[in-house]
């Protein structure tokens, strides 16, 4: 399944955290009593702190996952998806397959732990935050270098932030970074200082954890708005696909495969890949992908259709892993369309769907009805505290439409309303819309006909159209759509402004609905500055209720992930916080 919009590994997934147990891991620089220490959870009062060490992170990783000592080194690992990547530049990624592949080549200042999503070292060995809580200093690893042998420096970091915040940028996360960063300055070759806009709970994730670092010596002369068509992004010139990560680029054959090489000169000696080659294969549909896994033609497949789990669990040479995630499936109405500007219509659309049935019969129990906006792994997951629960109630859906003036005036089965007040009902004044979704996704092939039927029963006419994912994405960004069916992954810190804030309209954010609520934005600003875990959780739940009550989109289910792996693959541990973080430790049987 093609899942759009998630944060990439290491620059993150996608994975902001909140709450005491999920706060960025830090230790005092001295023996100052804990109550006096400054930290991301105390609002910036007290002594300077530093981050967790790289050695400590690896100790935690080995303890959590019990890595085997490799019996074999070298060999090939094959991943698969039904959709291709769309970029080879870490700063141009805004979908999961691209994020996965780019995330193996490009890194950020900090990464996230697959254990719990907490902040861990990246290209910066450590960071310090001053007692003011807004001045962050990042000390870069002095051994880090680019794949072409050039030294990695703080100038590359500043250049990457220049791109992220430029007026003519094509970066998808500009609104997130811009809301977090006030200024940045190169201190010396291996040190950069970033001043935050305020004392922010999520600063590490919103800026140093979001911006992938790219080489200035490769991209410095290319106008920012021309990056998508540059040979270094399309792969036409492999010498321009240069990162610092554990894998280097070999080739991209569009629609077929991407090949990366394990980099035996990777600067982080603890994470030099055991495998020689990683191939990302593009397969035509999910059934073909599952068959390839069973046949041993691929090694790892994320997004196993629920209907195939039982068969796969009995297949020789295949392991099936099921785990909770931050992911959900949803539909996005375009609120610039007149028919969706009435909240009653949007609420009626939700009441008309039996989302519990979708979770139990289509997802076969590997999902749950989404009550509110916060997914299962979120620290603000609180289904019992949601004001409006859209349980299946078609009678209520019909009543909401009728009360809002939507009736079937011509008896054709579709409700309509004289929106223009001219006494005439036009096609645009009927509750009829095009509904686009990604082709080749088995679960969508089941879900869409059900949704069409359920809406038809309350007088809503949905016209489905399966399209290639790149087409769907382009139409979302341009606003050329009525309703789209999508997948998404939230960040682990529960911040959701990237989808619901007024300043997050696509393509410089993921608010494809074009939803705007000033009260939501005000409270979102407040939660970003609230360091008490319980108080922040209360604000996040209030924000969830605002978005849920307004129903600017329809969150259908919070879902588990189902990943199939070949039994020849060892030390691969996907989690709901990170899918490929353990890839450097993987070894494969000869």
CA-CA-CA-CA torsion sign (400, 406, 408, 409): positive
Least confident range from 29-33, 229-233, 548-552: namely 29-33
The pLDDT assigned to 14 comes to 29
pLDDT, tens only, 135-171? 999 999 999 999 999 999 999 999 999 999 999 999 9
For the chain, what is the radius of gyration of the CA atoms? Answer: 24
CATH topology of domain 327-559: Dipeptide-binding Protein; domain 3 (3.10.105)
- Angle (nearest 5°) at CA 21 between 20 and 26: 75
Given a cut of 60, whether residue 18 has pLDDT beyond it is: no
The pLDDT assigned to 96 comes to 83
Please answer whether residues 417 and 374 qualify as being in contact, where contact means their C-beta atoms are separated by less than 8 angstroms: no
Task: Band the pLDDT of 2: cuts 50, 70, 90.
Answer: very low
Q: Quote the crossing angle between the two packed helices 518-527 and 533-550, to the nearest 10°.
A: 160
Cα separations (Å) of 71 from 273, 442, 489, 580?
14, 37, 35, 21
User: Which tokens sit at 363?
Assistant: 């997802």
Residues 409-438, mean pLDDT to the nearest whole number: 92
Q: Which residues of 314-353 are buried (b: 16+ CB within 10 A; e: fewer)?
A: ebeebebeeebbbbbbbbbbbbeeebbebebbbbbbbbbb
Given a cut of 90, whether residue 425 has pLDDT beyond it is: no
Compare 358 and 22 and report the one with higher pLDDT: 358
Given a cut of 70, whether residue 49 has pLDDT beyond it is: no
Task: Band the pLDDT of 50: cuts 50, 70, 90.
Answer: low
Taking the C-alpha atoms of residue 466 and residue 451, their distance in angstroms, rounded to an integer, is 14
Residues 329-346, mean pLDDT to the nearest whole number: 97
pLDDT, tens only, 246-300? 999 999 999 999 999 999 999 999 999 999 999 999 999 889 999 999 999 999 9
Task: Band the pLDDT of 181: cuts 50, 70, 90.
Answer: very high
What global pTM score does this model have?
Answer: 0.79
Given a cut of 80, whether residue 5 has pLDDT beyond it is: no
CATH 3.30.565.10 assigned to 1-322+564-590: no
Q: How far apart are the first and last CA of the chain?
A: 30
Q: Where are the domains of the chain?
A: 1-322+564-590, 327-559
Please answer whether residues 390 and 350 qualify as being in contact, where contact means their C-beta atoms are separated by less than 8 angstroms: yes
Task: Band the pLDDT of 423: cuts 50, 70, 90.
Answer: confident
Residues 447-456, mean pLDDT to the nearest whole number: 98
Question: How are beta strands 432-438 and 483-489 bridged, if at all?
Answer: parallel
CA-CA-CA-CA torsion sign (190, 193, 194, 199): positive
Of the candidates 447, 1, 2, 24, the one whose C-alpha atom is nearest the C-alpha of residue 206 is 24
Q: What percent of the chain has pLDDT over 70?
A: 92
Query: Read out DSSP for 514-546?
Result: ----HHHHHHHHHHTT--SHHHHHHHHHHHHHH
Query: CB-side exposure of 343: number of CA atoms within 13 Å?
Result: 9
Given a cut of 50, whether residue 22 has pLDDT beyond it is: no
Given a cut of 70, whether residue 45 has pLDDT beyond it is: no
Please answer whether residues 162 and 154 qualify as being in contact, where contact means their C-beta atoms are separated by less than 8 angstroms: no
Task: Band the pLDDT of 94: cuts 50, 70, 90.
Answer: confident
Please answer whether residues 332 and 484 qualify as being in contact, where contact means their C-beta atoms are separated by less than 8 angstroms: yes
Backbone angles phi, psi at 281, to 5 degrees: -95, 140
The pLDDT assigned to 341 comes to 96
Compare 13 and 456 and report the one with higher pLDDT: 456
Least confident range from 9-18, 82-91, 228-237, 402-411: namely 9-18
User: Which tokens sit at 190?
Assistant: 């291996």
Torsion of CA 496, 499, 502, 506, to 10 degrees: 150
Of the candidates 267, 229, 231, 230, the one whose C-alpha atom is nearest the C-alpha of residue 248 is 267
Q: What percent of the chain has pLDDT over 90?
A: 78
- Helix, strand, or coil (residue 588): strand
The pLDDT assigned to 492 comes to 73
* Mean of pLDDT over the chain: 89
Of the candidates 356, 427, 431, the one whose C-alpha atom is nearest the C-alpha of residue 389 is 356
The pLDDT assigned to 48 comes to 52
pLDDT, tens only, 557-580? 999 999 999 999 999 999 999 999
Residues 302-317, mean pLDDT to the nearest whole number: 91
pLDDT, tens only, 359-391? 999 999 999 999 999 999 999 999 999 999 999
Query: CB-side exposure of 585: number of CA atoms within 13 Å?
Result: 17
**Strand (E) or helix (H) holding 257:** strand 257-262
Least confident range from 10-14, 90-94, 174-178: namely 10-14
């Amino acid at each position: 399944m093609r899942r759009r919009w998630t944060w990439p590994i290491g620059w993150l997934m996608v994975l902001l955290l909140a709450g005491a147990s999920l706060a960025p891991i830090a230790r005092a620089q001295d023996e100052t009593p804990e109550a006096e220490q400054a930290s991301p959870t105390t609002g910036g009062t007290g002594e300077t702190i530093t981050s967790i060490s790289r050695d400590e992170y690896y100790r935690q990783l080995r303890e959590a996952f019990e890595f085997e000592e490799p019996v074999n080194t070298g060999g090939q690992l094959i991943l698969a998806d039904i959709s291709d990547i769309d970029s080879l530049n870490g700063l141009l990624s805004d979908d999961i397959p691209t994020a996965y592949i780019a995330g193996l080549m490009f890194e950020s200042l900090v990464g996230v732990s697959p254990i719990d999503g907490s902040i861990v070292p990246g290209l910066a060995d450590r960071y310090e935050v001053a007692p003011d809580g807004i001045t962050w200093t990042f000390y870069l690893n002095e051994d880090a270098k680019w794949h072409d042998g050039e030294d990695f420096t703080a100038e590359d970091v500043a250049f990457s932030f220049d791109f992220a915040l430029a007026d003519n940028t094509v970066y998808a996360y500009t609104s997130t970074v811009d809301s977090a960063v006030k200024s940045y300055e190169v201190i010396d070759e291996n040190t950069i200082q970033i001043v935050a806009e305020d004392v922010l709970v999520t600063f590490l994730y919103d800026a140093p954890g979001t911006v992938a670092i790219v080489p200035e010596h490769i991209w410095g002369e290319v106008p920012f708005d021309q990056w998508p068509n540059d040979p270094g992004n399309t792969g036409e010139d492999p010498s321009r696909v240069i990162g610092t990560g554990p894998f280097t680029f070999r080739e991209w054959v569009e629609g077929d495969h991407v090949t990366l090489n394990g980099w035996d000169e990777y600067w982080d000696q603890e994470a030099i890949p055991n495998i020689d080659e990683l191939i990302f294969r593009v397969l035509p549909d999910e059934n073909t992908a599952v068959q390839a896994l069973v046949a041993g033609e691929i090694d790892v497949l994320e997004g196993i259709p629920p209907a195939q789990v039982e068969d796969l669990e009995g297949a020789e040479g295949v392991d099936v892993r099921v785990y909770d995630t931050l992911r959900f499936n949803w539909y996005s109405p375009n609120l610039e369309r007149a028919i969706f500007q009435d909240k009653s219509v949007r609420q009626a659309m939700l009441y008309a769907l039996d989302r519990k049935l979708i979770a139990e019969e289509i997802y076969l129990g590997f999902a749950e009805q989404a009550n509110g906006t916060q997914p299962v792994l979120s620290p603000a997951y609180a289904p019992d505290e949601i004001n409006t629960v859209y349980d299946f109630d078609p009678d209520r859906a019909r009543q909401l439409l009728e009360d809002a003036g939507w009736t079937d005036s011509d008896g054709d089965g579709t409700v309509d309303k004289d929106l223009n007040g001219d006494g005439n009902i036009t096609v645009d004044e009927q509750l009829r819309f095009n509904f686009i979704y990604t082709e080749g996704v088995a679960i969508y092939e089941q879900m869409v006909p059900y949704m069409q039927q359920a809406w038809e029963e309350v007088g809503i006419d949905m016209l489905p159209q399966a399209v290639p994912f790149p087409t769907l994405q382009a139409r979302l960004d341009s606003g050329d759509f009525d309703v789209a069916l999508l997948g998404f992954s939230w960040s682990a810190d529960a911040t959701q402004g990237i989808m619901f804030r007024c300043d997050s309209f696509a393509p410089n954010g993921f608010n494809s609905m074009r939803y705007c609520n000033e009260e939501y934005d005000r409270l979102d600003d407040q939660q970003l500055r609230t360091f008490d875990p319980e108080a922040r959780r209360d604000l996040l739940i209030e924000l969830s209720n605002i978005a849920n009550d307004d129903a600017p989109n329809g969150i259908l289910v919070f879902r588990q992930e189902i990943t199939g792996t070949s039994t020849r693959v060892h030390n691969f541990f996907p989690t709901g916080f990170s899918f490929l973080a353990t890839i450097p430790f993987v070894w494969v049987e000869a």
